[in-house]
Amino acid sequence: MKLLRHPLSLSQIANYSFWFMLASSIFGGALLLALLFRHEHINDAHQVTKAAYESLFVLKYETERLLTTSELQSQKELLFEAARQFDSRFKPLTARPHPNIKEWSGFAHIITEEIQKIRIVLQAPLFDPRSMMEKSLLRRLGEGLVSEPHTENYVQIRDLTNAIAYLKQYEDFLLDELRALEQHEQNQHATQLEHIKFWLLVLILSAISTLIALAFSLSKGIKKIEINLLGTQEELRSALFELEQKQKKLEDQRNLLDHMAHHDALTGIPNRLLFLEKLRTLLEITRRTGEQLAVWFLDLDRFKEINDSFGHNIGDMVLQEVAHRLTDAAGNASVARLGGDEFALIVENIRDRTDAEAVITRFMSSLQHPLFVEHHEIYITCSAGASLFPQEAQSAEALLRNADSAMYHAKDEGKNTYAFYNQEMTRRAYERVTMESALRKALKNEEFVLHYQPQINMLTNKIVGFEALVRWQHSELGLVSPAKFIPIAEETGLIIDIGAWVLETACRTLMQWRSEGLEVGYMAVNISAKQLLHGQLEYAIPDFLKRIGYPKNALELELTESMIMRNPDYARKIFTRLRTEGIKIAIDDFGTGYSSLAYLKHLPIDTLKIDQSFVRPLPQSHSDGQIVRSIIHLCQGLGLGIIAEGVETEQQSHFLHQHGCTHAQGYLYAKPLDAAGAKSILSALKQ
Ligand code: C2E
Ligand code: MG
Ligand code: MG
């Protein structure tokens, strides 16, 4: 990240300014000192000159006074004192570096000489105190008599007067000098003042300009810092914003992931994970409050067939719609999709089973209305099982397991219903789980056997064919009914292998019987929904028959009505192909599904098998009689073969025959028999 960016840092500016100020101050100070020193020097010269002048003046004065005073002795002393003073004061003047030094020295010498002369004069008797009168006279004479007579005293007075005149001259000279010095001093003062003013001005200006430069640089620096700070602030703000955005995105992603981890991607409702979490929490709460709750396990009936016949896309849409209806029906109950076509519910705060039932019956009634998916009208049902807390289990897992067992019980009860858990169900559920692995082993160990049940022509009372019915020869359980294991084989997909085995065994048996000269018209083999959809029957069966050299028109495939009607177009395509290969098609358990007569008309089929549920109540049940008669008429109208299954009594046989049914199958004629039993019947008939 870019932070403060400016050419000169604040500390650098301060540093440079300090050094500049210091240099200016030193320079200015030195300059001022020099000026002051010079001023002192001039001042000193002036003082010395002044002192010299004063002492010369005093000397002259004291000398003059000699001529007028009566106190001659004391005046002499004063004069000598003045002369000494003059010496001492005049000396520094000559010692100074003055341009007129030589002149000064000359003056000093002359003055000293003059003083000496005065001293000599003063030794004269004239200046004796006793001749004061004379002296005063002489002075006057001296004043009056300038040239003659040249008396000794006169000469002395004249010399003295001359000396005084000399002194006066020098005094004047000194005075002039003093004035000149004063003038010079004044000029120097003025110049110095000018210089000082000038340098002070320069100093002030430089200080001001330095300050201005400093202030400017500072303000510029501050501005830059400000701009940089603003920029940095902006950058920080945008970085913060970006960070916030990223944080938000991450939060969203985390929420999404969390949602995805806890919700089913297809339906959007909670998944098994969230369901169990919620159930555990609710169990904790319910344990404390002492209330009850119910867990429902729901499984759609025959959903695999929907998937297989309509494709997975439609299957997915069906699941979505089911989830939607379940959520609507659930109200306050918690919904979840556990996987595949399995759903679950938690109904909290229930008083008894009735409260738990209310939710599931609401959902089941909502499924009574068809689902419209991509122009298809699909009917679907579900089976459900419930387990109650705290009566039946304590943990979430156990509750769900129990509800699952109860759901299987509901399936066993014929589907489209619900059941509440009891302990017996656990045993059954366990059986179911073990069944699958047992079935795999059974296939490997060839534990399956086929029984054959004759199909009779009611006119001739002769066996026209056999229906092959599979059984499981279990080492411990004995002969296990297909009703017990076929649904599991369907669910697990094992039915494909079992079905193939059945077809091959049945066909080979018929060929075997025929090869032994026994008359058997055809073999009927049951085909499951899974085989129809995944077995590629239209190719696999004809290929197989050709391979083993199976006789033409001696195979009939039985498919249940409901299985066909789930996807009649697909069924028609397959049946058409099979029939061109001489394979006959029979609709098994006819009347139990919801056949559309319009479809039936176009289906390439050969025979309808009236379901035993209509045959059993005959001839007493009027309604069943009516249904059976209608089916017979339908077959006659469509030119289809007809066979009634589950015929157990003569009355049933009579009724059927009387109303035009041509073929029958049931215990009345023969129960399903093992291969040996069936063969012996055939052999008996032959004789
Ligand atoms: P289904 O195809 O309708 O078979 C007729 C069932 O009715 C047979 O039961 C048969 O034993 C029974 N039955 C026949 N006559 C009478 C009678 O007079 N009274 C009574 N009460 N029952 C009679 P089974 O053998 O137990 O087979 C049950 C179902 O299992 C079959 O119904 C069929 O859907 C299925 N199944 C049997 N074998 C196979 C097979 O090899 N493959 C497939 N996919 N399903 C099979
Ligand atoms: Mg059958
Ligand atoms: Mg049947």
Q: What is the pLDDT at residue 11?
A: 61
Q: Is the pLDDT of residue 678 over 80?
A: yes
pLDDT, one tens digit per residue, over 75-89 is 778 878 888 887 777
- Is the CATH number of domain 449-686 3.90.700.10? no
- Ligand 3 centre from 238 Cα, in Å? 76
Closest ligand 1 atom to 482 CA = 30
Which residues, judged by CB distance below 6 Å to any ligand atom, belong to the binding site of ligand 1?
A: 453, 468-470, 481-483, 486, 499, 502, 526-528, 558, 588-589, 612, 645-648, 665-667, 672
Q: Is the pLDDT of residue 637 over 70?
A: yes
The residue whose CA is least distant from atom 16 of ligand 1 is 646
The Cα 106–Cα 446 span in angstroms is 163
The Cα 35–Cα 203 span in angstroms is 15
Q: How many CA atoms lie within 13 A of 68 on its CB side?
A: 6
Which of 63-67, 92-96, 469-473, 593-597 is modeled with the greatest confidence?
Answer: 469-473
Task: For 563-586, give one letter per residue: b (16+ CB within 10 A) or e.
Answer: bbbbbbeebbebbebbbebebbbb
Q: What is the pLDDT at residue 492?
A: 81
The answer to which of 157-161, 520-524, 569-573, 641-645 has the lowest mean pLDDT is 157-161
The residue whose CA is least distant from atom 43 of ligand 1 is 526
3-state secondary structure of 409: helix
- Read off the pLDDT of each residue in 77-105 and give the average, rounded to a whole number: 70
The Cα 169–Cα 173 span in angstroms is 6
Q: Is the pLDDT of residue 512 over 80?
A: yes
Q: What is the pLDDT at residue 304?
A: 84
Contacts of 393 (CB under 8 A, 6+ apart): 387, 399, 401, 402
User: For residue 177, how far is the Cα from the chain centroid?
Assistant: 101
Is residue 476 within 8 Å of 514, Cβ to Cβ? Answer: no
Closest ligand 1 atom to 560 CA = 34
- Read off the pLDDT of each residue in 136-160 and give the average, rounded to a whole number: 56
Which of 213-222, 338-347, 476-485, 531-540 is modeled with the greatest confidence?
Answer: 338-347
Tell me the Ramachandran region of residue 333: left when phi exceeds 0, alpha when psi lies from -120 to 50, beta otherwise.
Answer: beta
The residue whose CA is least distant from atom 34 of ligand 1 is 526
Q: Band of the pLDDT at 137, cuts 50, 70, 90? A: very low
The Cα 43–Cα 423 span in angstroms is 133
Q: Is 499 exposed, middle or buried (0-12, 13-18, 19+ CB in 10 A)?
A: buried
- Ligand 3 centre from 593 Cα, in Å? 12
CB neighbours (10 Å) of residue 552?
Answer: 9
Pocket test for ligand 1, best of 455, 491, 496, 526 (most atoms within 8 A of CB): 526
Q: Band of the pLDDT at 102, cuts 50, 70, 90? A: low
Q: What's the token pair of residue 346?
A: 């938690």
Q: Is the pLDDT of residue 100 over 60?
A: no
- Is the CATH number of domain 272-431 3.30.70.270? yes
Residues with CB under 5 A from ligand 2 (ion): 526, 558, 588
* Average pLDDT of the chain, as a whole number: 84
- Which ligand has the nearest atom to the CA of 609? 3
- Ligand 1 centre from 526 Cα, in Å? 9
Is residue 619 within 8 Å of 639, Cβ to Cβ? Answer: no
Q: What's the token pair of residue 6?
A: 């400016």
Of the chain, the percentage scoring pLDDT greater than 70 comes to 82
Bond prior to 619 in cis (omega within 30° of 0): yes
The Cα 678–Cα 672 span in angstroms is 8
- Ligand 3 centre from 609 Cα, in Å? 7
Q: Is the pLDDT of residue 2 over 60?
A: no
The Cα 592–Cα 90 span in angstroms is 161
- Read off the pLDDT of each residue in 30-47 and give the average, rounded to a whole number: 67
Which of 30-34, 189-193, 236-240, 649-653 is modeled with the greatest confidence?
Answer: 649-653
Pocket test for ligand 1, best of 469, 502, 528 (most atoms within 8 A of CB): 469
The Cα 607–Cα 665 span in angstroms is 13
Is residue 387 within 8 Å of 412, Cβ to Cβ? Answer: no
Q: What is the pLDDT at residue 686?
A: 65
Q: What is the pLDDT at residue 155?
A: 67
Q: Band of the pLDDT at 190, cuts 50, 70, 90? A: confident
Enumerate the domain spans of the chain.
20-215, 272-431, 449-686
- Ligand 3 centre from 32 Cα, in Å? 134
User: For residue 438, how far is the Cα from the chain centroid?
Assistant: 51
- Read off the pLDDT of each residue in 60-70 and give the average, rounded to a whole number: 72
Q: Band of the pLDDT at 105, cuts 50, 70, 90? A: low
- Ligand 3 centre from 607 Cα, in Å? 12
Q: Is the pLDDT of residue 131 over 60?
A: no
- Ligand 2 centre from 588 Cα, in Å? 6
The residue whose CA is least distant from atom 6 of ligand 1 is 646
Q: What is the pLDDT at residue 530?
A: 85
Q: Is the pLDDT of residue 574 over 70?
A: yes
- Ligand 1 centre from 626 Cα, in Å? 24
- Ligand 2 centre from 600 Cα, in Å? 19
The answer to which of 154-163, 227-236, 305-314, 419-428 has the lowest mean pLDDT is 154-163
The residue whose CA is least distant from atom 17 of ligand 1 is 646
pLDDT, one tens digit per residue, over 494-509 is 999 999 999 999 999 9
Q: What is the pLDDT at residue 4?
A: 42
Outline where 351-464 has alpha helix (H). Answer: 353-366, 396-412, 423-444
CB neighbours (10 Å) of residue 2?
Answer: 8
- Read off the pLDDT of each residue in 666-683 and give the average, rounded to a whole number: 95
The answer to which of 198-212, 294-308, 573-587 has the lowest mean pLDDT is 198-212
Contacts of 429 (CB under 8 A, 6+ apart): 401, 404, 405, 408
Q: What's the token pair of residue 563?
A: 């299985």
Q: What is the pLDDT at residue 103?
A: 64
The Cα 154–Cα 225 span in angstroms is 100
- Helices then strands (H, E): number in the chain? 22, 17
CB neighbours (10 Å) of residue 199?
Answer: 17
Q: Is the pLDDT of residue 687 over 70?
A: no
Outline where 302-392 has alpha helix (H). Answer: 303-310, 312-330, 353-366
The residue whose CA is least distant from atom 41 of ligand 1 is 470
SS (H, E, C) 475-523: CCCEEECHHHHHHHHHHHCCHHHHHHHHHHHHHHHHHHHHHCCCCCCEE
Q: Is the pLDDT of residue 261 over 60?
A: yes
Q: Band of the pLDDT at 293, cuts 50, 70, 90? A: very high
Longest Cα pair distance anywhere in the chain, in angstroms?
226
Q: Is the pLDDT of residue 117 over 90?
A: no
SS (H, E, C) 556-599: EEEEEHHHHHCCHHHHHHHHHHHHHCCCEEEEEEECCCCCCHHH
Q: Band of the pLDDT at 152, cuts 50, 70, 90? A: low
Q: How many CA atoms lie within 13 A of 382 on its CB side?
A: 28
Q: Is 261 exposed, middle or buried (0-12, 13-18, 19+ CB in 10 A)?
A: exposed
Roughly what angle, to the nearest 10 degrees, separates helices 132-144 and 152-262? 90
Q: What is the pLDDT at residue 54?
A: 79
Q: Is the pLDDT of residue 549 over 60?
A: yes
